Amino acid sequence: MPHDEKTAERLRRALAKEKAVDEIKMFGGLCFTLRGRMCVGLLGKDLVARVTPELYDKALKEPHVRPMDFTGRPMRGFLFVAPAGYRTPASLTRWIRRGAEAGARLKPRA
């Protein structure tokens, strides 16, 4: 499923000031990594957001959020956020921050 290019541009602009950002194809969509760890991505029009284990269940209760499940088995620590959940610049930034925090807790990739 191709990703939404308008949203990809919003993500690129939001992440432009970060260091060590890479953009790669992953999960059949687009993925943005910080220091080698996935932060956020796009699959179709859905934002893929990484979250910390402590935030996972709470974030699932937010509007427009559902488990990341495209294989029949949800990937804990990753969520799908429908476009209405990241419509504003503030809401998109919040998901990026959450993804960056979750990725920062992991060991850096070699």
Q: What is the pTM of this model?
A: 0.90
Task: Give tens-digit pLDDT for 51-67.
Answer: 999 999 999 999 999 99
Does residue 110 fall inside a structural domain? no
Does residue 43 fall inside a structural domain? yes
Does residue 109 fall inside a structural domain? no
Does residue 57 fall inside a structural domain? yes
Place of tokens 């269940």: 57
Which CATH number covers residue 85?
Answer: 3.90.1150.30
Domain containing 37 equals 5-104
Question: Predicted confidence band at 96 (pLDDT cuts at 50, 70, 90)?
Answer: very high
Does residue 23 fall inside a structural domain? yes
Report the pLDDT averaged over residues 24-30. 85
Alpha helices in the chain (DSSP H): 5-15, 53-60, 89-104
Tokens of 44: 């179709």
Q: Structurally, how many domains does the chain consist of?
A: 1
